[in-house]
Protein backbone atom coordinates (compact mmCIF):
# COMPACT_ATOMS: atom_id res chain seq x y z
CA UNK A 1 0.00 0.00 0.00
CA UNK A 2 1.28 3.41 -0.97
CA UNK A 3 1.02 6.65 0.88
CA UNK A 4 -2.09 8.71 0.39
CA UNK A 5 -1.51 11.62 -2.00
CA UNK A 6 -2.67 14.51 0.18
CA UNK A 7 -2.73 17.11 -2.61
CA UNK A 8 -4.95 14.89 -4.75
CA UNK A 9 -7.24 14.29 -1.76
CA UNK A 10 -7.62 18.04 -1.27
CA UNK A 11 -8.12 18.73 -4.99
CA UNK A 12 -10.60 15.90 -5.46
CA UNK A 13 -12.29 16.80 -2.18
CA UNK A 14 -12.76 20.44 -3.14
CA UNK A 15 -14.30 19.41 -6.45
CA UNK A 16 -16.49 16.88 -4.63
CA UNK A 17 -17.50 19.63 -2.20
CA UNK A 18 -18.52 21.84 -5.14
CA UNK A 19 -20.66 18.99 -6.50
CA UNK A 20 -22.31 18.58 -3.09
CA UNK A 21 -22.87 22.35 -2.82
CA UNK A 22 -24.50 22.39 -6.25
CA UNK A 23 -26.74 19.47 -5.29
CA UNK A 24 -27.71 21.21 -2.04
CA UNK A 25 -28.54 24.37 -3.98
CA UNK A 26 -30.78 22.51 -6.41
CA UNK A 27 -32.55 20.50 -3.71
CA UNK A 28 -32.87 23.11 -0.97
CA UNK A 29 -32.95 26.26 -3.06
CA UNK A 30 -35.20 24.83 -5.74
CA UNK A 31 -37.18 21.69 -4.96
CA UNK A 32 -37.62 22.37 -1.22
CA UNK A 33 -37.79 26.17 -1.45
CA UNK A 34 -41.39 26.32 -0.20
CA UNK A 35 -40.60 23.97 2.70
CA UNK A 36 -37.71 26.20 3.81
CA UNK A 37 -39.95 29.29 3.51
CA UNK A 38 -42.58 27.62 5.70
CA UNK A 39 -39.95 26.74 8.30
CA UNK A 40 -38.65 30.32 8.22
CA UNK A 41 -42.17 31.71 8.76
CA UNK A 42 -42.48 29.53 11.87
CA UNK A 43 -39.12 30.75 13.16
CA UNK A 44 -37.51 27.32 12.80
CA UNK A 45 -34.58 28.51 10.67
CA UNK A 46 -32.52 31.69 10.51
CA UNK A 47 -33.43 34.43 8.04
CA UNK A 48 -32.05 37.75 6.86
CA UNK A 49 -28.47 38.62 7.70
CA UNK A 50 -28.06 35.50 9.86
CA UNK A 51 -28.88 33.37 6.82
CA UNK A 52 -25.87 34.70 4.92
CA UNK A 53 -23.52 33.61 7.70
CA UNK A 54 -25.27 30.26 8.02
CA UNK A 55 -24.93 29.62 4.27
CA UNK A 56 -21.20 30.37 4.47
CA UNK A 57 -20.73 27.94 7.37
CA UNK A 58 -22.73 25.28 5.51
CA UNK A 59 -20.56 25.86 2.41
CA UNK A 60 -17.36 25.43 4.44
CA UNK A 61 -18.75 22.28 6.08
CA UNK A 62 -19.72 20.90 2.67
CA UNK A 63 -16.23 21.55 1.31
CA UNK A 64 -14.74 19.79 4.35
CA UNK A 65 -17.17 16.92 3.74
CA UNK A 66 -15.94 16.67 0.16
CA UNK A 67 -12.35 16.40 1.36
CA UNK A 68 -13.35 13.72 3.86
CA UNK A 69 -15.16 11.85 1.07
CA UNK A 70 -12.02 12.00 -1.10
CA UNK A 71 -9.92 10.74 1.80
CA UNK A 72 -12.33 7.82 2.28
CA UNK A 73 -11.85 6.95 -1.39
CA UNK A 74 -8.06 7.15 -1.07
CA UNK A 75 -8.15 4.96 2.06
CA UNK A 76 -10.44 2.32 0.51
CA UNK A 77 -8.76 2.27 -2.90
CA UNK A 78 -5.92 -0.15 -1.97
CA UNK A 79 -8.47 -2.63 -0.58
CA UNK A 80 -11.20 -2.38 -3.22
CA UNK A 81 -9.21 -1.26 -6.26
CA UNK A 82 -9.20 2.01 -8.15
CA UNK A 83 -12.19 3.04 -10.19
CA UNK A 84 -15.85 3.86 -10.38
CA UNK A 85 -17.04 0.83 -8.38
CA UNK A 86 -14.95 1.85 -5.37
CA UNK A 87 -15.99 5.50 -5.58
CA UNK A 88 -19.67 4.47 -5.79
CA UNK A 89 -19.30 2.25 -2.72
CA UNK A 90 -17.59 5.07 -0.83
CA UNK A 91 -20.32 7.52 -1.85
CA UNK A 92 -23.05 5.07 -0.85
CA UNK A 93 -21.48 4.35 2.55
CA UNK A 94 -20.98 8.07 3.28
CA UNK A 95 -24.58 8.76 2.27
CA UNK A 96 -25.95 5.91 4.39
CA UNK A 97 -24.08 7.21 7.43
CA UNK A 98 -25.30 10.76 6.84
CA UNK A 99 -28.88 9.67 6.08
CA UNK A 100 -29.29 7.50 9.17
CA UNK A 101 -27.62 10.04 11.44
CA UNK A 102 -29.52 13.13 10.26
CA UNK A 103 -32.50 12.53 7.99
CA UNK A 104 -34.05 9.58 9.80
CA UNK A 105 -33.97 11.29 13.22
CA UNK A 106 -35.41 14.48 11.67
CA UNK A 107 -38.28 12.54 10.10
CA UNK A 108 -39.00 10.66 13.34
CA UNK A 109 -38.79 13.64 15.70
CA UNK A 110 -40.61 16.02 13.36
CA UNK A 111 -43.22 13.96 11.48
CA UNK A 112 -44.31 16.98 9.47
CA UNK A 113 -40.77 17.04 8.05
CA UNK A 114 -40.91 13.47 6.76
CA UNK A 115 -41.38 14.60 3.16
CA UNK A 116 -38.46 16.97 3.48
CA UNK A 117 -36.24 14.20 4.83
CA UNK A 118 -37.07 11.85 1.96
CA UNK A 119 -36.65 14.48 -0.76
CA UNK A 120 -33.47 15.86 0.73
CA UNK A 121 -32.12 12.37 1.36
CA UNK A 122 -32.71 11.23 -2.22
CA UNK A 123 -31.08 14.38 -3.55
CA UNK A 124 -28.14 13.77 -1.23
CA UNK A 125 -27.83 10.18 -2.51
CA UNK A 126 -27.26 11.40 -6.05
CA UNK A 127 -24.99 14.16 -4.79
CA UNK A 128 -22.81 11.78 -2.78
CA UNK A 129 -22.52 9.27 -5.62
CA UNK A 130 -21.49 11.94 -8.12
CA UNK A 131 -19.18 13.71 -5.64
CA UNK A 132 -17.41 10.46 -4.72
CA UNK A 133 -17.03 9.66 -8.42
CA UNK A 134 -15.45 13.06 -9.03
CA UNK A 135 -13.10 12.58 -6.06
CA UNK A 136 -12.15 9.11 -7.33
CA UNK A 137 -11.61 10.41 -10.85
CA UNK A 138 -9.21 13.11 -9.59
CA UNK A 139 -7.35 10.98 -7.05
CA UNK A 140 -4.06 9.39 -8.14
CA UNK A 141 -1.16 7.91 -6.28
CA UNK A 142 2.48 8.16 -7.31
CA UNK A 143 2.48 4.76 -9.01
CA UNK A 144 -0.59 5.59 -11.13
CA UNK A 145 1.51 6.99 -13.99
CA UNK A 146 1.65 3.56 -15.55
CA UNK A 147 -2.07 3.07 -15.02
CA UNK A 148 -2.90 6.26 -16.91
CA UNK A 149 -0.56 5.53 -19.83
CA UNK A 150 -2.05 3.98 -22.97
CA UNK A 151 -2.27 0.21 -22.81
CA UNK A 152 0.29 -1.75 -24.85
CA UNK A 153 -0.73 -4.60 -27.04
CA UNK A 154 0.43 -8.00 -25.88
CA UNK A 155 2.06 -10.23 -28.43
| Cα separation, 35 vs 116, whole angstroms | 7
Q: Would 82 be classed as within a structural domain?
A: yes
Least confident stretch, 4-8, 117-121, 135-139: 117-121
Counting the structural domains of the chain, the total is 1
| Cα separation, 2 vs 8, whole angstroms | 14
Q: What is the mean pLDDT of the chain?
A: 88
Q: To 10 degrees, the CA torsion angle through 95, 96, 98, 103?
A: 110
Residue 151 clears pLDDT 50, i.e. is over it: no
Q: Would 154 be classed as within a structural domain?
A: no
| Cα separation, 67 vs 13, whole angstroms | 4
Q: Would 54 be classed as within a structural domain?
A: yes
| Cα separation, 87 vs 134, whole angstroms | 8
| Cα separation, 71 vs 56, whole angstroms | 23
Q: Please give the residue range of the domain that contains residue 52.
A: 6-141
Q: What is the mean pLDDT of residues 116-141?
A: 94
Amino acid sequence: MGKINGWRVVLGGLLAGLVLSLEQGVVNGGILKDTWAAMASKGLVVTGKELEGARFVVFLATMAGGIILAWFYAAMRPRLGAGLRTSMLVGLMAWLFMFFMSHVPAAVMMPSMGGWAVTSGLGDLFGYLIAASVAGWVYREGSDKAATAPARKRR
